[in-house]
A and B are shown apart, each in its own frame.
Chain A
Amino acid sequence: MAMDITTKNMRALLINVLLGIAIVAAVFAAIGGGWSLAKYTGILPLKKAKKALVIDKTPITVEHIKAIGELVTATWYDEQVILVQKLRYSPDSTFVKRVKEGEVVKVIKQTTKKKNNTTEIITYEEAAKVLGELVIIQDAHGRIGINMAKMKPENLVFPKKDGMPVQIKLPALECLDFIMNPTDTEVFSESEGWNLDDLKKAMAPAELEMKTKMKKDKSLFDTASKSAQEVVTQLFRAAGYENVQVVFESDEIKNLEIPSVEQ
């Protein structure tokens, strides 16, 4: 009888302890669940919506005004994804083994070595740890045309006899503007620690690569030159010259610098 009572008391005590733990856990879970519910559904004003970053209205200062005469005859559009990584190099192969998979990149490097008065290029792989990544989607557009201020009097030759064409030699086509504005830039992904200088360094090679593409695109020159010829011919015909001959000083587009390949 005494044994039964002790066993019963022990059982009751154990149940009470377990119930107590369950009740405490339930209370904490309820608080946590309620907090989550309020936060994500906005039922209770516990989470203030993050205000969008808004700039103040500030004045504009006009620094310089310039008269120009630019005939734009073609526009070129392109979009590029720029991936920049911050890497930490280590020549120690054991470092490579310690780093987690997916965070190591193989970088192909070149160096020169002089041997017996000859320069030898040595290629080797080096492992580097990725410390941070920046991914940008960059749109750009180039405006191709003629700077009419470069026209000289000798570029316009009027016919000496009836029936002969008026000859117009237009300056070379050039890239008058290459535009990559903030609205053309989308920061798709960034880890911590990137600043404005990093952004400038990331965009510079992308700009040169796109200008290289423009220079190599023959259809761009064809479209721009054809449009320029149409405009000039129409103007002169409307002014009374039936026979108009339009040529260009060069058959390539200027102002598209291509970087020299470093050895």
Chain B
Amino acid sequence: MRKTIQLSKWLLAAVLLMLTASGCGPRSQKMAALLSRKEKAIQVIDKIKSEKQLGLVEYEIEKIVKAKEEGRKVFILKSKKEILCSCKAYLKAGIDLSGFNPMTDMAIDPDETMITLTLPAPTLLSLNIPIDEVEILYEKTKYSNGFTLTDLNEILRQGEAQINASVPDLGILEDAKQNARLFFEPLFKRLGFTSVQVEFKENQKV
């Protein structure tokens, strides 16, 4: 009898300890996250910013974005969801003229018939992915609630990142260089120059 009572007391104590420990789990994790989390720097963005960019070429591209997610197996059931989206993007490349100083980057020969422009290297100036041109081509869910708008936005964000990463391979920057020559030559020939040379500075790595 005494042994039974003592055993049950130990059991009760063990149960209380387990419950306390399990209750501490998520709370202690949150505290650790709070203590170790570095404060993000506050980003300041000007509402209106002066720019000096010359857009020279626009690419209209289409990308198919596909994603699959498989959940945990519960007994014999395994949740699965798949989605295929198409999105259109408009990329504009050109020259950032804030890095162009006409006094030093424009050279006119003594006869004033030839002008040489040394322009900054072309860069991607804008990427526009209108939401109206995003379409879901295929969506399938099995034992699952389907894709939420949060999931959809994350998928599209990754698609945008892939488009950004592919810019050097698209050829848009080379086309911008060609168009820069086509843009400035007629302009300066109209101003009286017989020969217009357009050169580019090397890309500066950030």
Would B66 and A55 count as touching, CB distance under 8 A?
yes
B15 contacts A26, C-beta separation under 8 Å? yes
| Cβ contact of B160, chosen from A12, A181, A235, cutoff 8 A | A181
Asked if A251 lies at the interface with its beta carbon under 8 angstroms from chain B, I say no
Q: Is the CB of A26 within 8 A of B125?
A: no
The answer to whether B4 touches A181, judged by C-beta atoms less than 8 angstroms apart, is no
Partner among A64, A72, A143 whose Cβ is within 8 Å of the Cβ of B60? A64
B36 interface contact, C-beta 8 A? no
The distance in angstroms between the C-alpha atoms of A240 and B131, with both chains bound, is 47
A contact residues, range? 35 or more
User: CA A58 – CA B58 in complex, angstroms?
Assistant: 21
Q: Give 1 or 0 for each of B84-103: 1 = CB within 8 Å of chain A CB.
A: 00001010101001000011
> Is there a chain B Cβ closer than 8 Å to A125's Cβ?
no
Contacts of B153 in A (CB 8 A): 182, 185-187
- Given A33-B19, A55-B65, A55-B158, the answer on whether A69 and B183 have CB atoms closer than 8 Å is yes
Say yes or no: B92 contacts A194, CB within 8 Å. no
Contacts of B97 in A (CB 8 A): 231
Given contacts A22-B11, A33-B19, contact A69 B56 (CB under 8 A): yes
Assembly CA distance A72 to B162 (angstroms): 25
Asked whether A245 is an interface residue with its Cβ less than 8 Å from the other chain, the reply is: no
What are the residues of chain A within 8 A of B204 when measuring CB–CB?
Answer: none
| Shortest distance between the CB of B149 and any CB in chain A (Å) | 5
Task: Determine if B160 and A182 form an interchain contact, defined as CB atoms under 8 angstroms apart.
Answer: yes
A242→B156 CA distance, assembly (Å): 50
* Contact yes or no, B58 A65, CB < 8 A: yes
Report how far A53 CA is from B69 CA in the complex, Å: 7
B:141-170 near A, CB below 8 Å: 145, 148-163, 166, 170
Taken residue by residue from 128 to 145, chain B's Cβ proximity to chain A (1 for < 8 Å, 0 otherwise) reads as 111110101000000001
List which A29-88 residues lie within 8 A (CB) of chain B.
Answer: 29-30, 32-37, 39-41, 48, 51, 53-78
| Complex contact A68–B58 (CB within 8 A) | yes
CA distance A129 to B5 in the complex (A): 57
| B50 partner, pick from A185, A226, A234, beta carbons under 8 A | A226
CA distance A180 to B157 in the complex (A): 12
Contact pattern, B 54-84, Cβ under 8 Å of A = 1, otherwise 0: 1111111111111111001000000000000
Q: Does A223 contact B (CB under 8 A)?
A: yes
Q: How far is the CB of B59 from chain A (nearest CB, A)?
A: 6
A251 and B68 CA atoms in complex are apart in Å by 51
Chain B residues contacting A54 (CB-CB under 8 Å) are: 67, 158
Known: A30-B14, A77-B47, A194-B148. A238 touches B66 (CB 8 A): no
The residues of A that contact B66 with a CB separation of less than 8 Å are: 55-56, 58
- Residue B63 contacts which of A12, A60, A70, A177 (CB distance < 8 angstroms)? A60
Query: In residues 2-43 of chain A, which contact B (Cβ within 8 Å)?
Result: 12, 15-16, 19, 22-23, 25-27, 29-30, 32-37, 39-41
A226 to B170, CA, bound (A): 34
**Cα–Cα, bound, A9→B45 (Å):** 82
Tell me the chain A residues, 79-101 only, with Cβ under 8 Å from chain B: none
**CA A235 to CA B12, docked complex, whole Å:** 86
Given A41-B25, A69-B56, A78-B47, residue A23 in contact with residue B8 (CB < 8 A): yes
Checking A22, A76, A183, A199 against B12 with a beta-carbon cut-off of 8 angstroms, the contacting residue is: A22
What would be 27 A-B contacts, judged by CB atoms less than 8 Å apart?
A: A26-B12, A37-B18, A39-B25, A40-B22, A41-B25, A53-B69, A53-B151, A58-B64, A58-B65, A60-B61, A60-B162, A64-B60, A66-B59, A67-B182, A68-B92, A71-B54, A75-B48, A77-B47, A77-B48, A177-B92, A179-B128, A181-B127, A182-B160, A220-B48, A231-B52, A236-B191, A238-B106
